[in-house]
Chains A and B, each alone.
Chain A
Amino acid sequence: MSTVMKGASFVPRYNAVERSTHWTLALSFVVATISGLALFHPAFWFLSGLLGGGVWSKTLHPWAGLVMFIAFVPMALWYWRDNLIRSYDIAWMKRLPEVLMNTGKDLPQIDKYNAGQKMLFWSIIGSLVVLLVSGFVLWFDTDYKLPVLAVRLSGAAHVAAAFVLFMGMIVHIYSAVFWIRGSMRAMVRGEVKVGWAKHHHPLWYKRVAGKSK
């Protein structure tokens, strides 16, 4: 092992294109969330002011959503294989309470993504597809080209999918920014510390370390 990492204290995790794509997705998510929350409940209406008012919120929301979906397409293609559920993911998931309590030691060895990240990945795909389809109906069908039931169902589905995505993003952002220190480096600078890689994603580390030899 030690020969592999001679002199290197960082492992590359995301290249510049991947990072740019992720942050395009992230920024459009922020705009879609601010405007979406403003339209969802009066308690969040004040957020519409950040975007220039209600009309701007309504106008920007579908475009931000569209950018979000388009940005996720390449990410889905890049990462789906890394997100297939493996047997060690189930073993890891059983130890989730220890992970959450920060007491996990000798956890099952996992690859590039842990079971939580994988569930997030698939929930993003599911919610984005529902948001896109229902969003298009809500966006364009304000004059009953479709049966009105389609619009009503789309509204309910849009809310449900947005909720799932929002909850996933809370966990994602908290984990990356606040909880698992060193994760941000992967998406900002494109690399992680060797210790971080070995600790959090040992199988992945072995793969990339082997490659870079």
Chain B
Amino acid sequence: MSIQSVAIVRKSSTTTPPPQARGAVEPVGKLIDVTKCIGCKACTAACFEWNDLREEIGNGVGNYDESVVDLSDQMWSVMRFAEIDTPDGRVEWLMRKDSCLHCADPGCIKACPSPGAIVQYANGIVDFNQANCIGCGYCVAGCPFNIPRISKKDNKAYKCTMCSDRLQVGLEPVCVKTCPSGAITFGTKKEMVAKAEKRVHALQERGFQNAALYDPKGVGGTHVMYVLGHGDQPELYNGLPKDPSISPWVGLWRGVTKPLLSIGLGLGVLTMFFHYVTRGPQDEDAADHADHAHEGEAK
């Protein structure tokens, strides 16, 4: 799982094919088992440490809710809490580590207009390259999960890198390394799916009939997956979308219209050009003469 993460298979705003001579790379997977999560936020702290980030301490907004409640350029991973009333009258406390899911079919790459500002590695990681980012924010609108954030400091987009730099040297993502309850694990995507299926089965046996793996097909599956106790209602976990996909409006805006309208513009210009070389101009003096002649006739 090491050096693979430098092989790029998809690059934003690029029409030519990526390098493909190297052999197939095993896609990676990070599995977040929310049923094992204790909400300690060690993963958030580790993310700060490894990536040299520091979010400003804000104000508390509730009982157990945090002083930092959303993702930002400094906050690539945030713990989201939710209290829900269960049908049998109990209260359930849900917590979910929210960060980039590394879609197989990423809306951010589709939306990005800057060549190479967003890349997808052969191992599935979707990475932002701030050196190429122009700060337009299209990735924010393209993402079905509301993940990227534009920095107020430098007007560049930031999000979880899945510790692509650690992966390159054979280390696991830092949140995985830190998690004290074993809720976050890392391996190949295949291994993680198998692991999740086992866990889902165990949960179902223990009374969570609706437990499920969250690996949404609408975005081609994701390289960060959840095991959810309430797999039938992912939106309970602070609005995790039930059936996410790239919005058709993003498709219109940054998809099919790009080649079609570009061809339209080109044909428009060519039409003008060929009109000129076939019909030619209406000469200024010719108009003069023609009209004087015409005027004479009319009289």
Q: Which residues of A contact B (CB under 8 A)?
A: 1, 38-45, 54-55, 57-58, 100-102, 106, 138, 141-144, 148-149, 151-153, 155-156, 158-160, 163, 166-167, 170-171, 174, 178-182, 185, 193-196, 198-200
Contact = CB atoms under 8 A, between A and B. Distances in A.
Given A54-B114, A55-B135, A181-B282, 12 more contacts: A40-B113, A42-B15, A42-B115, A45-B115, A148-B146, A151-B141, A153-B249, A155-B254, A159-B252, A167-B268, A182-B287, A199-B287
A44 B150 contact: no
Contact of B259 (A41, A102, A163): A41
Contacts of B265: 163, 166-167, 170
B291 A179 contact: no
Given A142-B137, A144-B140, A163-B261, A195 B292 contact: yes
B24 interface: no
Nearest to B271: A170
Nearest to B143: A148
The SS class assigned to the B binding surface is helix
Contacts of B259: 41
20 contacts: A42-B14, A42-B115, A43-B15, A55-B135, A101-B279, A102-B280, A142-B136, A143-B140, A143-B150, A148-B140, A148-B247, A156-B257, A163-B265, A166-B268, A167-B265, A170-B269, A178-B272, A195-B291, A195-B292, A200-B287
A54 B150 CA distance: 16
Interface of B: 13-15, 113-115, 132, 134-138, 140-141, 146, 149-150, 247, 249-250, 252-254, 257-259, 261-262, 264-265, 268-269, 272, 275-276, 279-285, 287-292, 294-295
Contacts of A174: 272, 275-276
Nearest to A137: B141
Contacts of A198: 291, 295
**Chain A interface, DSSP helix/strand/loop, else mixed:** helix
A179 B136 contact: no
Nearest to A200: B287
A151 B138 CA distance: 9
Given A152-B253, A193-B288, A195-B292, A171 B272 contact: yes
